[in-house]
Every structure is written in C-alpha cells, then in structure tokens.
Amino acid sequence: MRFDRFGSVDQLALRPVAAVVLAPDQVRIRVTVAGLNPVDWQIVESPSLAAAFGIAVPAGYGNDFAGVVVETGEAVTRWRVGDRVFGGARGRAVASSVVLEERHPSLHRTPDGVDDLTAGVLDIAGRTASAVARALAVAPGETVLVGGAGGGVGSILTQLLVHAGAQVVGTGSASSAPFLRSIGAEPLTYGEGLAGALRASGARIAAAADLHGVATALAARELGVPARRIVTIESEDPPAGVVSVNGSDAHPGDLQRILALVVEGRLTVPIAGVYPVERFSDAIAQQRSRHARGKIAIVLPADPPASVADASG
C-alpha cells in the first residue's frame, strides 16, 4: 500500500514495487497480517508527524505486522527461514513482505500458541498499554478510570490492570457495555457529566488513563485524583501535571509478557474487524470511526503476485 503525497487517505493504493537485494544483516519477512492504528492515517494527513517518524513520500502504510521469515542475509544468525515473527515496521507494514535488520528492536519471535492475527495487531497497542499501565502504578484493590476502554489500547490496558488486581471503570458508548464487562471493566457511558456520574456511582477513583483527548483526565482532576496519577496518550495540551506517555515508553519484554498472558489464557487481544488487503479502505474507515471494540487487521494473501515484492528499510 502506497501514497505519493500528504493529505487524504483516499489516495492510498496497492502498487507493485521492486524487490530489494538483502544486505548481509537483513531478513525478508512475508507479511500475513498487518494491524492498523490511528497514527497510520495521521501520518498520511500530517507532513510534520511523518517527518517526526522519518517518513518521506512516496511512502508505505501501517506499522504492526506478523509473518514468517522467507530469506536471510548471509551474515544473519538470529533468524532462520521459516521462523514466525511479529513486530513493527513504521510506514510499510501493509505489504506482501518487509525487510528489516536482524536485530531491529521491533522484530520479535512469535511464541508457540499465539496466532498471527493476535501477534500482527499488537506492536503499537501493546507497547502503549504497557507504558500506561506502568505509569499508573496501580496497587491491588485500587479503582482506575480508563477513558476509551474498548479501543485497541484500552482493551489491552484494561486487562493488564485487572491482572494487576485493580478495579477498572471503563468509559465507552452505551452499546459497548457488554464488551467492556467481558474484559473485566465496569462500564460507564462517556459524555457530559462524567465526573457527576462517577460521584453518583460511589466509585473512589485512585488513578485514571485518558486514551483519547482530555475529557477523562479533566473528570479525574475534578474528582480530586492527583495529576501525577493521571495518564494521557493522545493529547497535545493535557492538563497541567498529568503524565503523557506513548509506545516508545514501553520496556523491552513488554510485548512478550502480554503474549505470555495470552498463551496462559489470562488475556485476549480483541479483534474488531478482519479484512482482505483488497478491502483496505473499509478497514481504515472502521479504524477511523473510533468505535472499534479492539483491533483492526488486514490479511495479506499467502501467495502474493510475483510483481509485488516488499517494503524495505
């Protein structure tokens, strides 16, 4: 998937590209699943954000992926052909294959017992949820308010907090209440009067995570939650004193810990939609709606056309 200029995602198109010759320390990975995130379409729309990630047009699309190693450079020792892997390739994951250095920090082995659909949507959401959970530093028995608990980050964060012994009040639409309960949260409809609704519920909020905007953060401050125990991830102007984090604040091993919980049956990575790559525009539209309950995945064909090779970097 490629775009030639910054602006609308309507210009995105599937195009053939030439295969690159591997450097000695590189591996070629056939992509089976690519996961979508808000930052993907935000990069298309924002030259400044793209520049911050080192992306110049023409460029590819997407970050999260899972797949299998199909070729290794002559100096590669860490990987073998046939190894299942997952991770992040910023601005190029929605492709038949990607090329990465063998020790790229966002290239990981997919554990036995984890399918590509789960691993392929995890990189950004998993790292971000882990960073938020660490910043919240909840103690067992504390009640945490999570704004946007049903989204890609929120659904993972909620389960991490529950796993840590916290009680979670999760905001979402009224229709999302059954889903929020299924991942361990007490649902609360978002909107005006959030602080008043929390007071009426009797919940004693010790910490809060705002995963979209600042409404949840402001409600938490109104309830007297200390700013240092409020975390935001997507606000350009958060309330004074709150903690802002993103996926880059995750620690090595965070994704592996999430997948260990998946293997143990103690955490799920909810998938809200799965689309063949030909329907990428529908996948992006669902992701952009901000109403997806979990992650959105694009599935790549097992045998791509020979003319469609890879995205390298």
Boundaries of CATH 3.40.50.720 in the chain?
A: 128-249
What does the alpha-carbon distance between residue 174 and residue 135 come to, in Å, rounded to a whole number?
28
End-to-end CA distance of the chain: 15
List, for residues 131-140, the tens digit of each pLDDT value: 999 999 999 9
For 31-73, the pLDDT digits (tens) are: 999 999 999 999 999 999 999 999 999 999 999 999 999 999 9
Q: How far apart are CA 85 and CA 110, in angstroms?
A: 5
**Which residue matches tokens 């964060």?**
157
**Are 121 and 114 a contacting pair, CB within 8 Å?**
no
**pLDDT tens readout for residues 196-255:** 999 998 889 999 999 988 999 999 999 999 999 999 997 778 889 999 999 999 999 999
Transcribe 82-103 into DSSP letters: T-EEEEE-TTT-SSSEEEEETT
Q: pLDDT tens digit string along 260-296?
A: 999 999 999 999 999 999 999 999 999 888 778 899 9
- Cβ pair 88, 105 in contact under 8 A: no
pLDDT band at 307 (very low <50, low <70, confident <90, very high): very low
**Cβ atoms of residues 170 and 196 within 8 Å:** no
Amino acid present at 19: A
Taking the whole predicted model, whether its pTM rises above 0.85 is answered as yes
Q: Give the integer Cα–Cα distance in Å for 157 and 134.
A: 10
Of 199, 197, 208, the closest CA to residue 167 belongs to 208
The torsion angles phi and psi of 91, rounded to 5 degrees, stand at: 75, 20
Quote the pLDDT of residue 311: 57
The hierarchical CATH code for the domain 128-249 is 3.40.50.720
Phi/psi for 127 (5° steps) reads: -65, -40
Q: Rounded distance, CA 16 to CA 39, Å? A: 24
- Confidence class for position 306, pLDDT limits 50, 70, 90: very low
Q: Which long-range contacts (CB under 8 A, 24 or more apart) does 261-264 make?
A: 261/159, 261/163, 262/113, 262/114, 262/118, 263/111, 263/112, 263/113, 263/114
- For the record, the structure tokens of 43 come out as 């990069």
Which residues make up the CATH 3.90.180.10 domain(s) of the chain?
2-122+269-299
Which residue has 């669902």 as its token pair?
286
Give me the amino acid identity at 54: G
Domain 2-122+269-299 CATH superfamily? Medium-chain alcohol dehydrogenases, catalytic domain (3.90.180.10)
